[in-house]
Structure 1
Amino acid sequence: MFKKVTIQADQRGLLFHKGSYVKKLIPGTYHYLLWSQPTVVVLNIAKPFVVEGKDLQLFLQDEDLLRELDIVRVQDHEYVLHYEDGQFVQLLKPGVYAYWSILKKHTFLHMDIRKPELPAEVDRSILPKLTANVQSYEIASYESGFLFYDHVLQRELSPGKYYFWRGPVSVMVKTIDLRQQQMDLIGQEIMTEDKVTLRLNFVCQYKIVNPLRALEMKSFDEQIHIQLQLMLREYVGTLKLDDLLKRKEDVASFILSRLREKGEEFGVQFLSAGVKDVILPGEMKDILNTVLLAEKKAQANLITRREETASTRSLLNTAKLMDENQTLFRLKELEFLEKICEKIGSISLTGGGDLLERLSSLIGEKKAAGK
């Protein structure tokens, strides 16, 4: 009794006798006696070389078999990119792999993941297939980045996108915003020299010019915030309330000059600063409003007296002119009569005589009758 085994052109056979590997079988038909207990494993050469239940090392002693196999060993600190006929297939993790070299050309690109950054020879178009093994960081055009391996600073990163292997080395990227920024101090309670407690809203604008120095400082924003508080207290504490209200711009100039002295220490260029609001206690507001109202009333009275004096002086000058010039006096009389006539519905005159004199006498009679 015979056992018949047929191996196709796209196949190879592995002959085992009593469980032990004997040799490779090329395409063809084979007959074996059943009593010899032969076993033939048929493999498709378009697929990886894998024999279920058998370790690969068992077959690597067969020189004839090795001539048709590509063997790749991936070390513990490596990833290997596997390509078939120039097309990426998969990423190989540590281990030993075998592929039939008969139908396809296999190439392998070894990556040392102890150096996490992906080298330039890795085609970025395959990265979507490697998301489980690759992490990325992006530095915007207005940012500066800093690369850390295992919490140790490596270098500064310019704007762009960077890719790193997920492996034994911890990778971290920190970014610093280089755009103009604003810091607001809201409702800072400060006591003036004359013991008035008020609240200030203050603002300053700045840009980070030394990102590494800013990165080295713990709680960078908080430290700038505290410096602003201290400087405000230092300056406002030397002023009385009236002086502070008159010299708000001087406060900003003083704080800005002091901040610029600290600029190099913080790695920052301070651009501008200013007092937005001075908020007074309710009682102080009432007092200031009363003072302001009194000042405005005094100013109004002064203006009224000035106008009255000017009006009296004008009347005196007019009287002197009319006394010296009869024509002007007569014109003034006519103007006076015109205003009176505006109040009278009609006037009837009989007889002769000068119209102006008769009107004058008429007015005189009306005044006498009124008495």
Structure 2
Amino acid sequence: MFKKITIQADERGLLFDKGSYVRKLMPGTYRLSSWSQSTVVVLNIARPFVVDGKDLQLFLHDDDLVRELHIVRVQDHEYVLHYEDGQFRQLLKPGTYAFWNMFKKHTFLHTDTRQPELSAEVDRSVVPKLAAYVQPYEIASYESGFLFYDHVLQRELPPGKYYFWRGSVSVMVKTIDLRQQQMDLIGQEMMTEDKVTLRINFVCQYKIVNPLRALEMKSFDEQIRIQLQLLLREYVGTLKLDDLLKRKQDAASFVLSRLHEQEEAFGVQFLSAGVKDVVLPGDMKEILNTVLLAEKKAQANLITRREETASTRSLLNTAKLMDENETLFRLKELEFLEKICEKIGSISLTGGGDLLERLNSLVGEKRRASN
């Protein structure tokens, strides 16, 4: 009795005797006796060379078999990109692999993970298929990046997208924002020269011009904040409250000029600064409001007296003119009579004489009667 085994044109057979590999079988028909301990494993040459339960090294002593195989050895520090007929197939991790070299053309790209950045040889279109093995970093157009391998600075990265292998080397990218930034000091308690405690809201705009210097400083933002606080305290501490309120805008000029002296040390350019608010204690507010009210009342009284003086002077000038000019005097009398007549419903006059003289005499009689 025989066992019939047929191997197709796209297949190869591996003959085993008592579990040990003997040789490769080409396409054709084979008969094995039923009592024989020989077995045949049939493999499709369109697929990778893999025999379940057997190590690849078991077959590499067969030169005839090896001539039909493409053997790839991936080192511990490598990833290998496998392409079939120019198309990406898979990523090979450390180990030994074999592929049939008849039907398809196999090419392999070796990458060294000790140099984590993906080289230009790796087509970026296949990166999404490598998501489990690649870590991306993106640097915006307003940022500057710094590349670290195992916490050691390598170089500065311009804006763009970068990819690095996940491997034995730790990769980290730190970014620095180069846009104009604003720092607010809110409710900073300070004491003036005359021992008045108040709170100041201060603002400062700046931009980083030396990102490496900013990166080298620990707690960069906090150091700038502390410097602002110290300079502001220095200014406020030399002025009395009244002087500070009058010259609070000068605080910005003082602080900004002192900050310019430290631009190189911080690696920044300070653009502007200013006092937003000066918040006084409650009791001090009441005192200042009282002072302000008194000042406004004094100003109002001064204006009233000034207007009264001007009115009296105007009357005096008018009287002098009428005394010197009879016609002007008569016109002024007519003006007063017109105003009197506006308030009287009707006037009855009898007898002859000039109308104006009779009205004057009538007004004179009314005045004497009232007296």
Matches within 5 A, 1:71-90: 71-90=71-90
Question: Residue type matched to 1:270 in 2?
Answer: F
Specify the alignment match of 1:159 in structure 2. 159
33-42 vs 233-242, which moves further: 33-42
User: Is the aligned partner of 1:58 residue 2:58?
Assistant: yes
Distance 2:19 2:46 in 1: 25
Specify the alignment match of 2:368 in structure 1. 368
Specify the alignment match of 2:284 in structure 1. 284
Deviation track 1:113-166 (CA, whole Å, cap 9, x = no partner) reads 000000001000111110000000000000000000000000000000000000
User: Is the aligned partner of 1:244 residue 2:244?
Assistant: yes
Deviation track 1:292-338 (CA, whole Å, cap 9, x = no partner) reads 11111111111111111111111111111001100000000011111
1:339 is paired with a residue whose SS is helix
Deviation track 1:216-260 (CA, whole Å, cap 9, x = no partner) reads 000000001111111111111010000000101111100000111
1:36 is paired with a residue whose SS is coil
Distance 1:199 1:15 in 2: 92
Specify the alignment match of 2:323 in structure 1. 323
Matches within 5 A, 1:8-87: 8-87=8-87
Matches within 5 A, 1:235-314: 235-314=235-314
The CA deviation at 1:369 is: 3.1
Specify the alignment match of 2:204 in structure 1. 204
Count of residues paired in the alignment: 371
Question: Residue type matched to 1:166 in 2?
Answer: R
The CA deviation at 1:36 is: 3.0
Distance 2:226 2:285 in 1: 29
Q: CA RMSD in A?
A: 0.9
Distance 1:12 1:52 in 2: 15
Distance 2:267 2:348 in 1: 98
User: Is the aligned partner of 1:135 residue 2:135?
Assistant: yes
Specify the alignment match of 1:225 in structure 2. 225
Specify the alignment match of 1:347 in structure 2. 347
Distance 1:320 1:19 in 2: 145
The CA deviation at 1:53 is: 1.1
The CA deviation at 1:352 is: 2.0
Specify the alignment match of 1:145 in structure 2. 145
Deviation track 1:95-130 (CA, whole Å, cap 9, x = no partner) reads 000111111110000000000000001000111110
Distance 1:96 1:348 in 2: 138
88-97 vs 356-365, which moves further: 356-365
Specify the alignment match of 2:121 in structure 1. 121
Distance 1:53 1:195 in 2: 88
The CA deviation at 1:63 is: 1.2
Distance 1:252 1:119 in 2: 51
Distance 1:309 1:203 in 2: 50
The CA deviation at 1:34 is: 2.4
130-139 vs 57-66, which moves further: 57-66
Specify the alignment match of 2:192 in structure 1. 192
The CA deviation at 1:61 is: 1.0
Identical residues among aligned pairs (%): 85
Question: Residue type matched to 1:356 in 2?
Answer: L
Distance 1:156 1:246 in 2: 48
The CA deviation at 1:346 is: 1.5
Distance 1:85 1:243 in 2: 83
Question: Residue type matched to 1:100 in 2?
Answer: W
Give the TM-score, by structure 1 length.
0.99
1:35 is paired with a residue whose SS is coil
Distance 1:32 1:5 in 2: 8
1:145 is paired with a residue whose SS is strand
The CA deviation at 1:368 is: 2.9
The CA deviation at 1:367 is: 2.3
Question: Residue type matched to 2:337 in 1?
Answer: L
2:52 is paired with a residue whose SS is coil
Specify the alignment match of 1:338 in structure 2. 338
Question: Residue type matched to 2:193 in 1?
Answer: E
Distance 2:317 2:53 in 1: 131
1:109 is paired with a residue whose SS is strand
Distance 1:231 1:292 in 2: 30
1:274 is paired with a residue whose SS is strand
